[in-house]
Amino acid sequence: MDISIVVPLFNEEESLNILYEWIERVMKEHGLSYEVIFVNDGSTDASWEVIEKLKSLHPAVVRGIKFRNNYGKSPALYCGFQASKGKVVVTMDADLQDSPDEIPELYSMIVNDGYDLVSGWKKKRYDSKLTKNLPSKLYNATARKVTGLKLHDMNCGLKAYRSEVVKNIEVYGDMHRYIPYLAKNAGFRKIGEKVVEHKKRRFGQTKFGLNRFVNGYLDLITLWFLSKFGKKPMHFFGLWGSVMFIFGVLAVLLVSIGKLIALSSGLRAPLITDNPYFYMALTAILLGTQLFLTGFLGELISRNSTERNNYLIEKEI
């Protein structure tokens, strides 16, 4: 099979038939074999009934996955990835803002140009500039700095992947925003982008609020930390714990030496506990000890993890 098209959705009953007919027309025009996997993320409208009807009309092409609750886009993508059978996997949103006309060229970039992952770039957007465009630009600029990936639209829902990519990454929480970074950390280095058409939403309203930008930054920090120190936590916590502990000890020694010098000179010296630097030094010692122990516990957990030697082997001869 050439292409698996994974469509996560939540309350998009009006657009599903239109989307499928659009996909079907494009695939037939380009002679591509395909499957469409609709992942219903706990919709409360008639989305699942529409999917069931599409399945009955197109049993060889349409597949459906239904969640009991609304778990989020990342779990929906993960389940869609695991169910996919095509050599190229394409993800797109169900709200008709992503154009299926882009799929053949995305497929070509994977198969003919050798990309592992191609991310869409909605260069011209029809969203609100204040609530989406400006925060998105700031968010993407930060993501480029942290991840080292020169992508203009990290969170674009329209992406194409080599099958090996989606089978070797785990998308969880809200990490769907950083799938290119997850792929890079898994060793897939040929990551590109393509300018894609962005269309206005025809039905309903967006399911994502401004809180996604705050969560996005927190997830970015988490991914960066895990990629750097996920398998060696002592290198971070142990280092900074040692630095703080040594700083605290030196500070206590300086305060104590100052006290001894004053006493030996016959001068009246205040109590060590009256010196604010003593408490700063004591705090540094305690924090340093806690950080060091955190790194030590992290190493124990890492050593007992079943995935501690889970490395991605590309070839073996």
Q: Percent of the chain beyond pLDDT 90?
A: 50
- Domain coverage including residue 264: 234-303
How much is the pLDDT for 303?
72
| Structural contact between residues 183 and 149, judged by C-beta atoms closer than 8 angstroms | no
Give yes or no: residues 199 and 155 share one domain: yes
Rounded CA separation 19/32 (Å): 17
Task: Answer yes or no: do 109 and 255 share one domain.
Answer: no
Q: Is 140 part of a structural domain of the chain? A: yes
Is residue 180 domain-shared with residue 244, that is, in the same domain? no
- If asked whether residues 75 and 170 sit together in one domain, one would say yes
Q: What is the pLDDT of residue 212?
A: 64
pLDDT at 185: 87
CATH number at residue 116: 3.90.550.10
Residue 85 included in any domain: yes
pTM of the model: 0.75
pLDDT in tens, 75-122: 999 999 999 999 999 999 999 999 999 999 999 999 999 999 999 998
**Which residues have CB under 8 Å from 120's CB, separation 6+?**
98, 102, 106, 153, 156, 157, 158, 159, 193, 194, 195, 196
Q: What is the count of structural domains for the chain?
A: 2
Q: What is the mean pLDDT of residues 134-154?
A: 82
At 43-71, the pLDDT tens digits run 999 999 999 999 999 999 999 999 999 99
* Assigned domain for 32 exists: yes
